[in-house]
Amino acid sequence: MRRAPRTKRMRTSIPTLLLSGLLLVGSLMAGCRGTSTPEALTPTSKPLPRPSPTRVLQGPEPIPTPFPEESTWKQTPLLVRRFYLTTRQGRTLLFIEAMLPTPCHEARAQIQAQPGRLQVDLFAVMPPEEAVCVQVLSYLSGYVDLTPWLEADPEAQVWLGDQQVPVQEGLAPPITPPTTSPSDTSPSSGGHAMTTIPTPDPKETAWQVGPFHLESARLEHREAAWILVVSGTLPTPCHQVRHRVALEGNRLQVDIFTVRDPGVMCVQVLQPFSGEVDLTPWARQHPGVEVWVNGQRVGKLDSTQE
């Protein structure tokens, strides 16, 4: 009679213990899921990197073909300064030295194989997120690996744009990129012959107006004369440099630009240029006036501050 209550208590406590154990295990599993699920479902904030081309040498950078996502990006021509075909480490490479429109632009190469001809076109693209970028030319030294195409057609001629690419043994010394600024105060030209930059001719009013990529500008006081010396690059050898001068308040605005005869075909190769503009008449009429060239301050026509 006394054992009945004890047996009853044991029977009621076992289900209670089992239920408590199940609740404990369930809470532990829910806690584990709560700590791991958010981490697994959180999307990464970094985009997947684009595959980079394999480098075959030190120095110049490989110029890749356009990536699929760049099909809608704006394309800008490269300002090519030098190009040649050579062989390095068993690879046939097209070397390029050029100027990019801005430091944000990236060079791309489009290659088309035709019987007996390999056509290479170079251009620059800029990622949309870099839409605002400083308008300064950026030096480029790169190469395009043409080995697979020339192995398939060893007799093919390589063309860059509308020019056949010359063959050169070894690597030529790199062109020193411009490091001077528009406010450069380097020594005088030392009497070397400089090209005089004229004003536009009336017959050129219908010609295409192009840019002049200014690299340096300085004022030289030669006895009683004031000379503005500029250097930069032209978009093509067919472009001709012109200037305009206008007085705006206490500023002498000098615009350096280029013109080109639209009826003349020309290769898209960058052309270096150095020239000068005689500002002596302006210095006599407006002594001490500030001189600005293409939006950059160069100095004053004031001999007392030399």
**Domain locations along the chain:** 61-164, 195-305
Q: How many CB atoms lie within 10 A of CB 296?
A: 14
Please check whether the two domains, 61-164 and 195-305, share a CATH topology: yes
What pLDDT, on a 0 to 100 scale, did the predictor assign at position 63?
93
Residues 6+ apart with CB under 8 A from 183: 217, 218, 296, 297, 298, 299
What pLDDT, on a 0 to 100 scale, did the predictor assign at position 242?
92
Residue type at 6 in one-letter notation: R
The pairing of strands 296-300 and 106-114 is: unpaired
Query: What is the DSSP secondary-structure string of 214-281?
Result: EEEEEEEEETTEEEEEEEEEESSTT-EEEEEEEEETTEEEEEEEEEE-TT-----B-EEEEEEEE-HH
| Separation of alpha carbons 47 and 44, rounded Å | 8
What pLDDT, on a 0 to 100 scale, did the predictor assign at position 56?
43
Q: Domain 61-164 carries which CATH code?
A: 2.60.40
In b/e form, how buried is each residue of 151-161, taking b as 16+ CB within 10 angstroms? eeeeebebbbb
What values do phi and psi take at 98, rounded to 5? -150, 180
| Separation of alpha carbons 130 and 128, rounded Å | 5
Q: Domain spanning 195-305: which CATH class is it, in words?
A: mainly beta
Residues 6+ apart with CB under 8 A from 217: 182, 183, 184, 228, 229, 230, 231, 293, 294, 296, 298
| Separation of alpha carbons 263 and 259, rounded Å | 12
| Separation of alpha carbons 226 and 77, rounded Å | 37
- Can you give the pTM of this predicted structure? 0.46
Residue 273 burial by Cβ neighbours in a 10 Å radius (0-12, 13-18, 19+): buried
Say which DSSP state 196 is in: E
Q: How many CB atoms lie within 10 A of CB 56?
A: 15
Given a cut of 50, the residues of the chain with pLDDT beneath it are: 1, 7-10, 12, 32-58, 177-192
